Structure 1
Amino acid sequence: MGRQQPAGTVEVMETYRVRPTLVHSAEETASASAWRVRIRVDDRPGTLARIAIRLADLECNILGLSVLPVPGGVLDEIVLRPATGLPKQLLIDAIRDEGCECSAVVDADLAELVDPATATLTAAKRAVEEPGGLAEVLRGVLAADVVTKVPSIEANPARTEGGHRAVFPVGDGTAFVARRRWSPFVELELSRAVALTGLMTAVRDNVTGPIVLDRPDGAAIVLRTGVPGDAEAVSALHQRCSMTTLFHRYHTGMRAVPRRWLHRLLMPPRGISLLAVCGREVIGLGQLIPSADGDAAEVSLLVEDSWQRQGIGTALLTRLAVLAVTKGERELAAVCLPGDDSLYRTATRVGLRPERAPGDPGTLRFRLPDSRV
């Protein structure tokens, strides 16, 4: 809904920052080194040339131009250096006289004067380096007011709010919802965001895909995520483990895992189960369970007795740490029995520098050393 503006004012909105600047008075003159101007024009020959001539008449120097196709025309975004003392309202009036609509005039930072391809690639680099910051990166790419991550079932992509709302599924049961009040999203902007989320999905799938351990004895050990079809193999793993090994993992006396646990072990809610597989046998099982309250994600390990002290636990924990980073986790935690330092030693070999939780010697916490994938 439009708002009534006082006479002699114009609503001006920021296009690359989160909060738009709302109003510039008619007397406001050029003080910044550059302005960013968004102009909606009819896609007809000569229109842009006439605008360029008008800008030249006002002694404005065009530094950059981006063209965004929109229904019924195009949206030109021009970065220019204004003449000293030029009122913004005079620029707006000149553009209007050419039959075009000036939807934004804001101060621009020349350090941000890069072509859209470079800006998008830079955003992609940031997203790969900091997967947990993808929402913030998307907000910058879209010049959105806000971007939030929600479960896919709550995203409601059909609700576009006249183009001011967009949904981007990310393939892990979640989606990003972007909103921008000051201007509807245009197709080119949405395409960039879709490409960025697609890239991150490919990066995540590549990281979470199976890997083969390079072992000196030539044994083919594969680390991969668990699936429901692994239930029998995981049950057999528990049957081959000693009571001591199972007690260190589950902290209770048990000889075999109950059948009702198998699906949760393989497909934990919100989490990941990582299997170490040799041939048809599962010889190790690791889990990563993000905390519901945003605290450290919990990790746990189980390695068959005959495969212990052969690097399987180290490989599982190393991989779980990488997967934790892709999910934006910054810290891991594990529960250990008093006197059991096996996980402490494993974490040390991985380079996680474990620490005992203050007041809780049975809990280890590991600060992830780097947020890079």
Structure 2
Amino acid sequence: MALWRIRATVDDRPGFLAVLAASLALKSVNILAVQVHTTEVGAVDDFLVDAPDAMTETELVAAVERGRGRDPWVTRAEARGLADQPTRTLGLANRLVRDPESLGDVLGVLLGATAVTWRPTSGSPSQGFHDDAMKLPDPAGGSFEIVRAAPGFTPAEYARAQALVELAATIGRRSTDQIAVMLADGSELTLRPATSDDLPAVLAMHDRCSAGTLHRRYLSGSSAPSRALLNRLLEPAHGVTLLAVAADPERVVAMANLIAEGQLGEVALLLEDGWQRRGLGTSLLRRLAAHAGWSQHAALVAHTQADNVGMLRTLQRLGRPGPMERDGNFVSVTVPLAGTPAPGPASVPAQTPASSA
């Protein structure tokens, strides 16, 4: 038996795929895998089949046409074709995460391209596809032109390629967001976005914080929040969480949260005791303000204790005075962003996480 790949268009109507499968079965051709690509001219069926060794390409084409398949394309296949398309695509996504510079190669493998050419572009790069060519933007600049002699590209393949381009863009943004900072005392740290993989390191940081520091951050109690809450804080649905990572020894020493709430971005900081009053809180807060500006928030708001002098001074260092409202032992500070009017002061929710600088 020999492996073949077959692609043909059939009418997207009940029973037509069964007719094609039956025609192949009459020739002892076993279908091992099938993908269906919906197009405007019908369903493009992509088969991996096992056929008798003596069967020729011409005989396979004839069997497809007898089964009402149009525009058949047939070629010999390799055993690696037994991996289904979702598995192959996930494998390529994993490669892209490990090596973001491999986008061109990854697209070539995904699409079975005969050539992948990177071209510089001015303005917005064109994108789209037709029978044998596809154009996709390179998130780093320029665009990729992907050529395949046969078969023609389908909308499903274009969508998969776009998804990998979007993944590369996300990886690139995260890489750009990672910056090195040097504090006034010469200490060097890396500021970067958090991910769920950082949970163990963040839990360890909480264990090193004093009860007073935790109380100032979370407003009530003096213990670390649950793992579930920390997971939500690390990758918020709307906003960003930044971590400060020390190099020697490597460990997370601070966490800064920006949670979007309408036009406001609520901010909160937690710094290990030994890293407070060294300028790190100011660096983190300025970075959060930049993220809020990119997201077009009107202002930042921070809820903290009225006696949390460190956090209040850190907010003042942004140089953007705004409304302040006191409610008993708590203060809400609203910091307008550049070029936007300051909204009215926000009231302090009963259990809103607060800040420690």
TM-score, length basis structure 1: 0.46
TM-score, length basis structure 2: 0.48
Q: RCO (CA 8 Å, sep 6+): is it higher in 1 or 2? A: 1
